[in-house]
C-alpha cells in the first residue's frame, strides 16, 4: 500500500487494524527492555545517586512533548495548505497525548528537582517555556471542544498550533540563551553526548519505548476520531431525514 493511500479514511482504518497489534506488542517488548535496563542495569550516578533513574522517564517525556507539537505543526500545514483529510484528525488526537507527556515531564522534573536542586519548581527559562507549552496544549484541547464543526475547529487549531511552534526553539535553546537552573543539553549537542554510555543506553531504550507507545496511542486515537466523525455524520443525516419527514 502506498503512503498516499492512507489519506483515505477507510484505508487508514484497515491499516490501523493490521498495524495496532504489532505496534502494541513492540511497545510492550521495548518497555520490558527499557524498564529492565533503567531499574536493574543502569548504575547510580556518582553525584545524583539513584535519582538519575528519574531521567529515564523525564527526558523521553520531554522529547515526546516537543515531538508531538512538531507533528501537530506538520499536520497544521496539512490542514491549511494541502487540506489533507486526515491532517486535523492527526493534530486533534495528538494534543491530549502530547499534553499528558508534557505534564509527566513537568511532574518528574519536579520530583527530580526537589532532591537535587532543593526545590520543586523554579521560574527559569526551560521550566517556564515547557509550562507554557503545556498550557497551550490545554488551550488547543479546549478550542477543539468548543467548536462544533470539526473542519472549522481544525483550521482555528492549526493556526494556534503554528503560532505555538515558535515556543519549540525557545524550549530547546533556553538553556543556552539564558542562565538557567536546568542543565544544558547533554544528549543532542555538538561534540556528542556528555552522558556515560552505561546511562545513555537505557535512556535510548526508554526513548524508543516511549516513542512506540506514542505511535500506538496516536494511531488508536486517530482511528477513534475517524469513527467519531462517522457517527456525527450519521446523526446529522438522521436528523435531516427526520426534519424533512416532519416538514413534508
Partner 1 sequence: MELGPHAIFIVAAYGAAAVIVASLIAWVVLDFRAQKRMLGDLEAHGVTRRSAGVKEHA
**Residues 180, 115: Cα–Cα separation, whole Å:** 17
Phi then psi for residue 156, to 5 deg, are -65, -45
**Minimum CB–partner distance for residue 31 and partner 1 (Å):** 9
Show the cell assigned to 106. Answer: 513537568
**Minimum CB–partner distance for residue 241 and partner 1 (Å):** 4
**Minimum CB–partner distance for residue 32 and partner 1 (Å):** 14
**Minimum CB–partner distance for residue 185 and partner 1 (Å):** 21
Give 82 or 198: the residue with its C-beta nearer to partner 1.
Answer: 198
**Minimum CB–partner distance for residue 179 and partner 1 (Å):** 25
**Minimum CB–partner distance for residue 200 and partner 1 (Å):** 19
**Residues 205, 200: Cα–Cα separation, whole Å:** 9
Give 198 or 224: the residue with its C-beta nearer to partner 1.
Answer: 224
Give 13 or 77: the residue with its C-beta nearer to partner 1.
Answer: 13
Site of interaction with partner 1 (CB under 8 A): 39-40, 44, 49-51, 53-54, 57-58, 61, 96-97, 100-101, 103-104, 107-108, 111-112, 114-115, 213, 217, 220-221, 223-224, 227-228, 230-231, 233-235, 237-238, 240-242
Give 97 or 158: the residue with its C-beta nearer to partner 1.
Answer: 97
Burial of 141 (0-12, 13-18, 19+ CB in 10 A): middle
Q: Which residues pair with 49 in a beta bridge?
A: 45
**How far, CA to CA in Å, does 246 sit from each of 227, 236, 237, 240?**
28, 15, 14, 10
**Residues 221, 195: Cα–Cα separation, whole Å:** 35
User: Do 42 and 53 form a contact (C-beta atoms < 8 A)?
Assistant: yes
Give 114 or 145: the residue with its C-beta nearer to partner 1.
Answer: 114
**Minimum CB–partner distance for residue 29 and partner 1 (Å):** 15
**Residues 67, 172: Cα–Cα separation, whole Å:** 12
End-to-end CA distance of the chain, in Å? 47
Look-up of cell digits 424533512: 244
Give 104 or 158: the residue with its C-beta nearer to partner 1.
Answer: 104
**Residues 233, 248: Cα–Cα separation, whole Å:** 22
Give 97 or 143: the residue with its C-beta nearer to partner 1.
Answer: 97
CA-derived radius of gyration, the chain: 21
Amino acid at each position: 500500500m502506498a503512503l498516499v493511500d492512507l489519506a483515505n479514511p477507510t484505508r487508514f482504518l484497515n491499516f490501523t487494524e493490521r498495524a495496532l497489534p504489532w505496534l502494541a506488542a513492540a511497545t510492550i517488548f521495548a518497555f520490558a527492555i527499557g524498564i529492565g535496563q533503567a531499574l536493574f542495569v543502569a548504575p547510580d550516578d556518582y553525584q545524583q545517586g539513584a535519582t538519575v533513574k528519574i531521567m529515564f522517564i523525564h527526558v523521553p517525556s520531554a522529547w515526546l512533548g516537543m515531538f508531538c507539537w512538531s507533528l501537530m505543526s506538520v499536520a497544521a500545514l496539512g490542514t491549511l495548505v494541502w487540506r489533507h483529510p486526515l491532517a486535523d484528525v492527526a493534530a486533534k488526537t495528538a494534543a491530549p497525548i502530547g499534553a499528558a507527556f508534557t505534564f509527566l515531564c513537568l511532574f518528574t522534573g519536579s520530583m527530580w528537582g526537589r532532591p537535587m536542586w532543593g526545590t520543586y519548581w523554579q521560574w527559569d527559562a526551560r521550566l517556564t517555556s515547557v509550562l507554557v507549552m503545556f498550557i497551550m496544549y490545554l488551550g488547543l484541547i479546549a478550542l477543539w471542544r468548543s467548536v462544533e464543526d470539526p473542519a472549522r475547529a481544525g483550521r482555528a487549531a492549526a493556526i494556534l498550533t503554528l503560532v505555538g511552534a515558535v515556543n519549540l526553539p525557545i524550549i530547546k535553546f533556553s538553556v543556552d540563551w539564558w542562565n538557567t537552573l536546568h542543565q544544558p543539553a547533554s544528549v543532542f549537542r555538538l561534540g556528542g553526548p556528555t552522558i556515560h554510555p552505561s546511562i545513555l543506553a537505557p535512556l535510548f531504550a526508554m526513548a524508543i519505548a516511549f516513542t512506540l507507545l506514542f505511535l500506538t496511542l496516536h494511531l488508536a486515537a486517530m482511528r477513534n476520531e475517524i469513527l467519531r466523525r462517522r457517527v456525527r455524520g450519521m446523526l446529522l443525516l438522521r436528523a435531516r431525514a427526520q426534519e424533512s419527514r416532519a416538514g413534508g
